[in-house]
Structure 1
Amino acid sequence: MKIVTRVKLMPEADQAAALLATLRTVNEAACWVSGVAFEHGVPREYELRKHTYTELKARGLGAQAAQHVIKKTRDAYTTLKANIRAGNLGKPGSKRRVKAESKPITFRPKAAQPYDDRCLSWQYDARTVSIWTTAGRLKRVRFACSPGALKMLREHRKGESDLIERDGVFYLIAVCDAPEADQYEPHGFIGVDLGITNIVTTAERTGSGIALEDLTGIRSRVRLRKDQRTTLHSWSFHQLASFVEYKAQRAGVPLVYVDPAYTSQQCSDCGHIDRRNRQSQATFACRSCGALMHADDNASHNIGRKGETVWTAGRESRVPATP
């Protein structure tokens, strides 16, 4: 599985100046490539390279840096197209979508720049890196990270690393390809609802699995109050699920998706379903048995039970048929 590991660079003053100048140069170049791509209808990467590579070399970019600038620009348009197709920028003709489609993508002066092993090398014992810049190759740039991160880098780092700058501090974001943890047989499931924290940690400690609501297309399927719409758009359900999936996979925690129907209206004590059971955003009061609890707790219990059902059904389907 892919694991992202971040290390902090500790460059000398002249090294920091070279790194900052490099980020500004490559992102200025990426903005120029983006304009060319937009003008030519965003051609494939190979075609875009024919239009831009010579100019990028003339701007002082090395061969690999030029290739990475072209690729990250093309990838940005691929991501934009995917977001448009998924409806994340609104319907055709909406103000946000028209704005995104009507002009070239731009890159911040300090946006991340990818590096491969030909322009970045790691010296783990010395805790230094050698990295390409527009001022030449910088050697013995010190970095700092935890012992666990260093072990991960040493044993599993593979592929590209991104150079970024945040508030005057430089980081390298490295991709590691580590084996997945063995998945255990869960003792029940923890249902995940909005607002629950440290859910991965809790599941691993208790030997439980995790059940998430399958909220695909929720924006078009349900009507929400204004306060609920704010929550929905401030934290993407897809981002939440992706984060939990990633952490669960690393820890070997079983994870399933369940049908979200009635999880907030059904009483987790007696099973009675009534939309009036949900008296407010925080309060659940069953009109049948009188159970009173926090609405999120009630929903998480329902989601957890559905998770057990889905897991059991999946396990039974994996058992070979009796001859």
Structure 2
Amino acid sequence: MSVVDMDECYSEPMKLVVRLKLQPAPQQASALEATLRACNAAASEVAVVARQVGVYRNYDLRRHVYQAVKDDHRLGAQAAQHVIKKVSDAYKTLKANIRAGNLGKPGSKRHRNAETSPVSFRWDAAQPYDARMLSWRPDVRTVSIWTVDGRLKAVPYTGSSDQLKAVATLPIGESDLVHRDGMWFLHASVEVPEPQLIDPVGFLGVDMGVANIAYDSDANRYAGTRLNGYRRRQIRLRARLQHKATKSARRLLARRRRKEARHAANVNHVIAKTIVTEAVRTGRGIAVENLTGIRDRVRLRKPQRVTLSSWSFRQLGAFLAYKACRAGVPLVQVDPRYTSQTCSRCGHRDKRNRPDQETFTCRSCGVVAHADHNAALNIARRGVEGWGAVNRPHAA
């Protein structure tokens, strides 16, 4: 049984990212744009040098490019260091994707390109800022931010009440300057005080799937019918616009490219918040399946592969994890094997217990239940067993 040790979550303050919208004047927006262009042009050049010399570690790479980055692109010392670190992190991520097989099989053209071609950066890729380059005035809701044209003072920002309260009351770490759809944002990381972990009286099991996004052991169903229908409409619309291929169609595609992702993220946020709220109300922990590598394990017919690939298992799991951590709710990941084939009442396991997607019928005790509810009950039981194993005193 695979169990997540929650001590890592509570050993140090949690970090959350708060997104605030900047409201720069036209002249300030021009300076911010020039800064992103200069930083990302420098990052692309550093990435080429890193490939040529075969050096990818941050501090080692500085010896090769630091002075040139400062002189050629009008970058300050802190900005130059962040540019080099950004390139180093990009190659680290690329290496991890190659090792995980996400960029094709060894010997394929895509795999060879990933191993030999330098990383490139869009002109508007996010740029990190630290406290020396960015200072906050929460009382008047403005920031002072470094640019290649000098420091911009009193740039106003706005956000939701929770976001504004977070940056006004919590320690702020590194922030990212982001340009998206003609708007400017600051993604600020804040440290949340360490929560007090509750001692759970049981576990709320959560079964995640495609037909039902989530189904918990209390028989609460979070259906995926509307979301899957929405995604199918978006696929048809994209196909029509791509086939049309006019200038207006391309503009519409550009505006809609993130709409589906935002909609799915909102659905996952609502589901995760509802589940965590119920766990807090009843004093229970949350047990979920460990779905790492599910896309590689599950075999589906071709029409179903798009649905599986577009469904964000990892995102919902991440939302549950951080919301549970903030609320002090224990969350464990359990082994998902045979949860859908095992009877939650008598424990009899048989693949014939599940004659179709929705129905579970035990061939031993005769219990009939919704298949996802039965799986959620098994997950809840494994959560209790796993939590007991983690917290059981060691006997010599």
Structure 2 length-normalised TM? 0.74
1:203 maps to: 279
Change (3 A) 1:105 1:12: same
The answer on whether the counterparts of 1:268 and 1:299 sit within 8 Å (CA) in structure 2 is yes
Residue matched to 2:299: 224
- Distance in 2 separating the partners of 1:294 and 1:263: 13
1:24 to 1:283, Cα distance in 2 relative to 1, 3 A: farther
RMSD: 2.4
1:181 aligns with 2:191: no
The letter of the residue matching 1:148 is D
Cα deviation, 1:248-278, whole Å, max 9, x if unaligned, reads 1111111112122210111223322111222
How has the CA–CA distance of structure 1 residues 95 and 267 changed in structure 2, closer, same or farther, with 3 Å as cutoff? farther
Q: Kindly indicate whether the alpha-carbon contact (under 8 Å) linking 1:3 and 1:176 is maintained by their aligned counterparts in 2.
A: yes
Partner-residue secondary structure (3-state), 1:317: coil
Contact 2:31 2:149 in 1 (8 A): yes
Report the more deviating stretch, 68-77 or 173-182: 173-182
Indicate conservation of the 8 Å contact 1:214/1:258, yes or no.
Answer: yes
Which range moves more in the overlay, 167-176 or 188-197? 188-197
- Please state if 1:213 is matched with 2:227: no
Q: Distance in 2 between matches of 1:69 and 1:92?
A: 30
Q: Distance in 2 between matches of 1:154 and 1:133?
A: 24
Alignment partners' CA distance in 1, 2:304 and 2:336: 16
Alpha-carbon displacement from aligned partner over 1:208-237 (angstroms, at most 9, x marks no partner): 2111223445566x4522366555543465
Aligned to 2:243: none
Q: Is the 8 A contact 2:31 2:147 kept in 1?
A: yes
Correspondences of 1:35-50 after superposition (within 5 Å): 35-50=48-63
* Structure 2 residue 66 is matched with structure 1 residue 53: yes
Aligned residues between the structures: 319
SS at match of 1:126: coil
Percentage of pairs with the same residue: 58
Give unmatched runs, 5+ long, in structure 2.
Answer: 1-13, 215-270
Range moving further from structure 2, 282-291 or 32-41: 282-291
Mapped to 1, the partners of 2:169 and 2:369 lie a distance apart of 48
Does residue 72 of the first structure (1) align with residue 90 of the second (2)? no
Does the C-alpha gap of structure 1 residues 185 and 96 become closer, same or farther in structure 2, counting only changes over 3 Å? Answer: farther
The question of 1:134 aligning with 2:148 is answered: yes
Matches of 2:346 and 2:94, distance apart in 1: 47
SS of 1:2 mapped into structure 2 = strand
SS of match in other structure, 1:284: strand
Indicate which of 25, 42, 48 corresponds to 1:12.
Answer: 25
Amino acid paired to 2:116: S
Structure 1 length-normalised TM? 0.89
Mapped pair 1:249 → 2:249 = no
Contact 1:42-1:77 at 8 Å conserved across structures: no
Q: Counterpart in 1 of 2:176?
A: 162
C-alpha contact 1:157 1:176 (8 A) present in aligned 2 = yes
Contact 1:180 1:249 in 2 (8 A): no
CA deviation after TM superposition for structure 1 residue 97, in Å? 2.9
Give the helix-richer structure, 1 or 2: 2
Q: What pairs with 1:252-263 in structure 2 (closer than 5 Å)?
A: 252-263=328-339
Flag structure 1 segments of 5+ consecutive residues without an equivalent: none
